[in-house]
Structure 1
């Protein structure tokens, strides 16, 4: 990539980090940008995953107070995330890139729709009573969600909040656990893709710190700006990207 391309990638990564902190869905901004800059779709996907890894760690640090008394649950759910993230990452690297090209427009569209319905899920869960034990189906759902996260990852946080919210009936805790499990899944993809994936390390070098700074600043302003207009913009952009990728195929 040229210096201008790297500058564009860094700027979009900065925006993606902020969007992840404010509303979620930053991957849906950076991934198509990398494709537009000339990276093949699989390379753009793995580069996107690695570049946004620092932002997930920042999210975990921000929720550290919510993890009090959750150690055993974090260990159990984290083990599931390691298994699911590994399976998804290996699936991406061992299946033909043509298959990913066919599936990715659907995944982008699904991620956009999930972001659109996230407020509805939150409202339905806010007043529900919490179960005494984690239901067995929750572990299966978390495994499938993190397989998706290892394979593509766009709007993984939205999926995890929905799954954890339904299983635990505690939306605030679900949001905190979402950050931890996203970080675990992202760490797995970092290792797998770092060893075996077609990563553009020049992009990572500029996009990772930009994503971290954007995520930090986004968290600082998250309570000061209206989320709904940003959510609408992300959904519209996701639909447009999905259509573009369908046509591109």
Structure 2
């Protein structure tokens, strides 16, 4: 890594950790940064997952008070499904060819950006059409976590929409649970990627440290920072990255 690469990756990871703690979408920063510094796409996706997952834990710890108020059984069930989905999604990534994944990337980025931009509408629809205790909610939970294991981009906003569909209303509790589930999804996929040997570890370790610091800082400031500012910035970054990767096809 050159010095400019180190600076770019550290800054991308720090802000990604903060953004993930507040609203999700941090992979819009880490994944492109890795690709732009020369890491192949599949390895960049795996390394990006490794880079941001400690930030999810520190972000969840920032909402520990709110998480303790949740029913233990509900939290344990959601975390178990998150682990299963993350494992399945990571296996799907491992069997994807680099060519296919390169074609899928811009569509996934665009999909995640649209979900992020219209997350409130998605959450409203989920509240009206998804039975919190029905099979649809459990299936949606598993599908979202499989998506997170395959491609982490936009996972946070999809999880927030799903939690709203489950009937949750306390935004701080939802953010804490979202961060906790994101950590479990990422931990399952990270373990799979590490065993498969596709993680670029020097970049991953650097970004893990920066993302952890950013995640804790993001959780601390989330109660003061206007969420619309963060959301607008993430949508703009996601749209720009989608366009860039479409042009790379």
Partner of 2:74: 73
Per the TM alignment, residue 122 of structure 1 is displaced from its structure 2 partner at its CA by 5.7
Task: State the superposition RMSD in angstroms.
Answer: 2.2
Structure-2 separation of matches of 1:132 and 1:4: 50
Partner of 2:183: 183
Given that 2:112 and 2:154 are in contact with CA atoms closer than 8 Å, whether structure 1 keeps it comes out as yes
- Bigger mean CA deviation after superposition, 29-38 or 17-26: 17-26
Structure-2 separation of matches of 1:135 and 1:228: 32
Given that 1:21 and 1:215 are in contact with CA atoms closer than 8 Å, whether structure 2 keeps it comes out as yes
> Does residue 100 of structure 2 align to residue 84 of structure 1?
no
Given that 2:14 and 2:213 are in contact with CA atoms closer than 8 Å, whether structure 1 keeps it comes out as yes
Partner of 1:28: 28
Partner of 1:2: 2
SS at match of 1:52: helix
Matches within 5 A, 1:182-201: 182-201=182-201
Change (3 A) 1:225 1:91: same
Under a length normalisation based on structure 1, what TM-score does the superposition of the two structures give?
0.90
Structure-2 separation of matches of 1:169 and 1:53: 24
Per the TM alignment, residue 124 of structure 1 is displaced from its structure 2 partner at its CA by 7.4
Partner of 1:229: 229
- Bigger mean CA deviation after superposition, 206-215 or 227-236: 227-236
Structure-2 separation of matches of 1:132 and 1:151: 26
Change (3 A) 1:136 1:196: same
> Does residue 60 of structure 2 align to residue 60 of structure 1?
yes
Per the TM alignment, residue 108 of structure 1 is displaced from its structure 2 partner at its CA by 0.6
Per the TM alignment, residue 22 of structure 1 is displaced from its structure 2 partner at its CA by 2.8
Change (3 A) 1:159 1:241: same
Partner of 2:50: 50
Segments of structure 2 that go 5 or more residues without pairing to the other structure are none
Partner of 2:97: 96
Segments of structure 1 that go 5 or more residues without pairing to the other structure are none
Structure-2 separation of matches of 1:221 and 1:9: 22
Aligned residues: 246
Matches within 5 A, 1:126-165: 134-165=133-164
SS at match of 1:19: helix
Under a length normalisation based on structure 2, what TM-score does the superposition of the two structures give?
0.90
Given that 1:15 and 1:26 are in contact with CA atoms closer than 8 Å, whether structure 2 keeps it comes out as yes
Partner of 2:13: 13
Given that 1:157 and 1:182 are in contact with CA atoms closer than 8 Å, whether structure 2 keeps it comes out as yes
Per the TM alignment, residue 63 of structure 1 is displaced from its structure 2 partner at its CA by 2.4
